[in-house]
Chain A
Amino acid sequence: MLAVFAVIGTVTVAEQFLIVANTTKAPPSAKSVKTIEAVFWGSLRYYLAWAMVTPGVFWLSRRLPLLQRRWWWAVLAHLAIPLAASVPFFAFRLLVNSVLTATPYPVDALAALWRRILTGDTVAIAPTYWALVALGTMVGFARDEAARRLRAVELRRSLSTAQVDALRMQLQPHFLFNTLNAIGSLAQAGETEAVVRVVDHLGTLLRLSMESSGRPCVPLSDETRMLDAYLAIEEVRFGDRLRVSRRIEPQAAQAFVPALILQPLVENALTHGIGRRIEAGTLEVAARRDGRWLEVSVRDDGAGLPVGWSWPTGAGRGLANVKERLAAIYGVAASCAIGPAEGRGTVARLRIPWTTQPAEAGGSAPWNA
């Protein structure tokens, strides 16, 4: 700010000097006593002229931006431009004078004319020019920022997609290690068929999770196929401690759901629910259509939620991811709720808009109004 004042101050002081120096000449106000209206119109012409030059100045302020690494070039340029503008003024005056008087301008008066222009016109237009440059820079900021905000939204969306992509391709390492261990044991026991079966399930799991990468939504039937492979492996590991029941309505199987949305729910049910009990437990996955909605539930009769646990504050990474993805794709239209089941255990309920078309994340689906 001080710099600005310094510049303007210097110019004004110089102006005063020049005024004093020029008092020998008749003061401009005496030269032409204009009426107020004349002043108005004259000023209007003056300002309109500036208004028309303004876009050009704004353009210049973006081409010679003050906020770059080599800002001194820009400052120099902006200092020089008013000076350079004096040339057309000079030429203009010269021309007008010559044309009006029909005689060539006296050469010895050229220097005086030049000086008058420099001290008069240049000094007059310089501050306005610089003010406009400053204004133009500010406008530039505003525009840049708006563009950046827009881009930030895009970036955030891409980021969450990429993160989800990375996440989804990680099967829980502990699951993998335990499964590999089981395969090793089976091989040792000579149970060849079992080895092939488990390996097959694991391969299906991997293949399905690879296939769905890049697609935010898949049909529920794909999702249940993957769950089947996953649960088949878990049944081998848990042995008698796990019973699985599936109740998927045929119509529900056609609906589109976010990819890998059920996996974390089932994992949790096994790890925190049934896995925490010594006795056997049952896992039930159910899906049905309810008018405009698809309802999916994952229920277990295991250890139940810890005391004081609440949704969504108690959610771990897997559940938080589910919640985020639902919000990204469906906005507020979808819901996921985790709570105690009747009797014993926990139930996770998913309620998403019914659709047989894949939805884009944050797209223009009807529920995103």
Chain B
Amino acid sequence: MNGLTRASVRRAALVGAVALLACALMAFRSAASRYVAVGLHGDFVLKGLNERLSWVGLYYGAWIALTPLILASARWYPVRRDRWAGPLLVHGLAGFLVAGGSMVVMSAVFGVLVAGEEWANPAEWLTPRWLRLGAYHAVTDSIVYWAILAGGHGLALYESWKRSRLQSAELEQSLAAAQVEALKMKLQPHFLFNTLNSISFLALAGDTPAVGLMVERLGRLLRASTSTRGQQWVTVADELELLEQYVSIEEVRFRDRLNVTLRVAPDTRALLIPSLVLQPIVENSIKHGLSKRLDAGRLDVTVVRDHDALIVTVLDDGPGLPPGWALDTHCGRGLRNVIERLSALYGPRVDLELTNAPGGGTRVRLRLPIP
């Protein structure tokens, strides 16, 4: 058994000692209670069901009346981990006094109202007999005081437990959001990087108009992406805007070699999807499907609604997937980023599949449940 360290043994011993002490105290209390009870010499005996029930009623009535006061005192002077000696002493004493005192008063009331002369003779009120009754109740019923006190602490504990649970949940949520955001942010530098390389290349090749065009469109793409910064969910329309800007940049890079068609069902434009999901997928398809070819390539992007889900399909007519390609092991950085974020938002099973398209090329199909 691991974990049996000195500290845990010490703690177990401490707990055991405290428990033993508690039991001894309780036993002592029982004995003391009996002692005092015997000393009552059979006074204050309840006779008959009526008396018994009235007694019980008054008893509980008294304690119910006392409860708010005891709860207030628990809030006002609680036993805490860092300050337990004082409160324990005070409440311990209070238990005796309150129990004894209140029960004595109650017994007097009982006597006057119900039991009559046997119980309460006002002339006898300050005799030792009553003191003994008080002592009896102090010992026996103080436990009720302490039970109520413990209940008060319990309520306070419950409140702070609820609060901490709420805080915890909020923190977890913020963290998840920030992590998704950080992941998303990772994509931006990579894309900028690639485009800057293209700009450099074009400048060296002397293609000034292309540089200007790319610079301008890169600016638009950056604006499109910063407008949704911080948002995890964007409309399909917004994401499409981003995608169109991105495609326009790639079109400059590939000149006439790139042919992209976007087909988006009008009833999907206002739906919410995670941001920066379409663009990395298309980027991946362009990279693998087109950039390695010398002739022109096509890319078809369709977005349609299928009952409670959005289906995004990206079809290219490139070389297709190499044999033995698997999503888990071979997918690129961009796709991996997308999968990570989607699984953070939707759960571990992300419905994204890459297959060879019939007739050559690759087909990417993503199914997003509509929230």
A 129-180 contacts with B by CB, 8 A: 131, 134-135, 137-138, 141-142, 144-145, 148-149, 151-152, 155-156, 158-159, 162-163, 165-166, 169-170, 173, 176-177, 180
Give the docked Cα–Cα distance between A34 and B35 (Å): 10
Give the docked Cα–Cα distance between A23 and B316 (Å): 94
Known: A155-B172, A187-B215, A188-B208. A9 touches B203 (CB 8 A): no
Known: A51-B22, A155-B171, A156-B171. A9 touches B31 (CB 8 A): no
Q: Distance (Å) between the CB of B25 and the closest chain A CB?
A: 9
Contact A206 B192 (CB under 8 A): yes
Provide the residues of chain A in CB contact with B203, threshold 8 Å: 187, 192, 195-196, 199
Provide the residues of chain A in CB contact with B219, threshold 8 Å: 177, 180-181
Interface string of A84-121 (1 = CB under 8 A from B): 00000000000000000000000000000000000000
Closest to B153 in A: A138
Give the docked Cα–Cα distance between A207 and B200 (Å): 15
Asked if B111 lies at the interface with its beta carbon under 8 angstroms from chain A, I say no
Contact B171 A162 (CB under 8 A): no
Asked if A280 lies at the interface with its beta carbon under 8 angstroms from chain B, I say no
Contact A176 B222 (CB under 8 A): yes
User: Interface residues of A: mostly helix, strand, loop or mixed?
Assistant: helix
Give the docked Cα–Cα distance between A54 and B19 (Å): 10
Contact A44 B24 (CB under 8 A): yes
Asked if A39 lies at the interface with its beta carbon under 8 angstroms from chain B, I say yes
Residue total for A at the interface (Cβ-Cβ under 8 A):
72
Closest to B48 in A: A20
Contact B151 A43 (CB under 8 A): no
Provide the residues of chain B in CB contact with A19, threshold 8 Å: 52
Provide the residues of chain B in CB contact with A162, threshold 8 Å: 175, 178-179, 181-182
Provide the residues of chain A in CB contact with B303, threshold 8 Å: none
Residue total for B at the interface (Cβ-Cβ under 8 A):
72
6 nearest A-B residue pairs (beta carbon): A43-B30, A44-B27, A40-B31, A162-B178, A187-B211, A43-B27
Asked if A369 lies at the interface with its beta carbon under 8 angstroms from chain B, I say no
Give the docked Cα–Cα distance between A128 and B216 (Å): 78
B 145-165 contacts with A by CB, 8 A: 147-148, 150-151, 153-155, 157-158, 160-161, 164-165
Q: Distance (Å) between the CB of B57 and the closest chain A CB?
A: 9
Provide the residues of chain B in CB contact with A50, threshold 8 Å: 23
Contact A148 B164 (CB under 8 A): yes
Give the docked Cα–Cα distance between A1 and B206 (Å): 84
Contact B179 A187 (CB under 8 A): no
User: Interface residues of B: mostly helix, strand, loop or mixed?
Assistant: helix
Give the docked Cα–Cα distance between A183 and B215 (Å): 7
Provide the residues of chain B in CB contact with A196, threshold 8 Å: 200, 203-204
Asked if A368 lies at the interface with its beta carbon under 8 angstroms from chain B, I say no
Could you show 29 A-B contacts with beta carbons less than 8 Å apart? A4-B151, A5-B67, A9-B56, A36-B38, A40-B27, A43-B30, A44-B27, A51-B19, A131-B147, A148-B165, A152-B168, A152-B171, A155-B168, A155-B171, A156-B171, A159-B174, A169-B186, A170-B188, A180-B218, A184-B211, A192-B206, A195-B211, A196-B200, A199-B200, A202-B196, A203-B196, A209-B189, A210-B189, A210-B193
Provide the residues of chain B in CB contact with A47, threshold 8 Å: 22-23, 26-27
Contact A39 B189 (CB under 8 A): no
Provide the residues of chain B in CB contact with A4, threshold 8 Å: 151
Asked if A16 lies at the interface with its beta carbon under 8 angstroms from chain B, I say yes
Give the docked Cα–Cα distance between A207 and B196 (Å): 11
Contact A169 B35 (CB under 8 A): no
Provide the residues of chain A in CB contact with B160, threshold 8 Å: 145
A 1-49 contacts with B by CB, 8 A: 1-2, 4-5, 9, 12-13, 16-17, 19-20, 34, 36-37, 39-44, 46-48
Contacts across chains A and B counted by CB atoms under 8 Å: 191
Contact B154 A190 (CB under 8 A): no
Provide the residues of chain A in CB contact with B148, threshold 8 Å: 1
Provide the residues of chain B in CB contact with A180, threshold 8 Å: 215, 218-219, 222
Asked if A200 lies at the interface with its beta carbon under 8 angstroms from chain B, I say yes
Asked if B212 lies at the interface with its beta carbon under 8 angstroms from chain A, I say yes
Interface string of B247-263 (1 = CB under 8 A from A): 00000000000000000
From B31, B167, B193, A37 is in contact (CB under 8 Å) with B31
Give the docked Cα–Cα distance between A17 and B48 (Å): 10
Closest to B210 in A: A187
Q: Distance (Å) between the CB of B323 and the closest chain A CB?
A: 33
Closest to A12 in B: B56
Known: A138-B154, A141-B154, A166-B185. 13 other contacts (CB 8 A): A1-B155, A39-B35, A43-B30, A51-B20, A138-B150, A138-B153, A144-B164, A148-B165, A166-B178, A177-B222, A184-B211, A199-B203, A207-B193
Give the docked Cα–Cα distance between A202 and B218 (Å): 14
Known: A51-B23, A138-B153. A36 touches B35 (CB 8 A): yes
Q: Distance (Å) between the CB of A69 and the closest chain B CB?
A: 14
Asked if B346 lies at the interface with its beta carbon under 8 angstroms from chain A, I say no
Q: Distance (Å) between the CB of A332 and the closest chain B CB?
A: 24
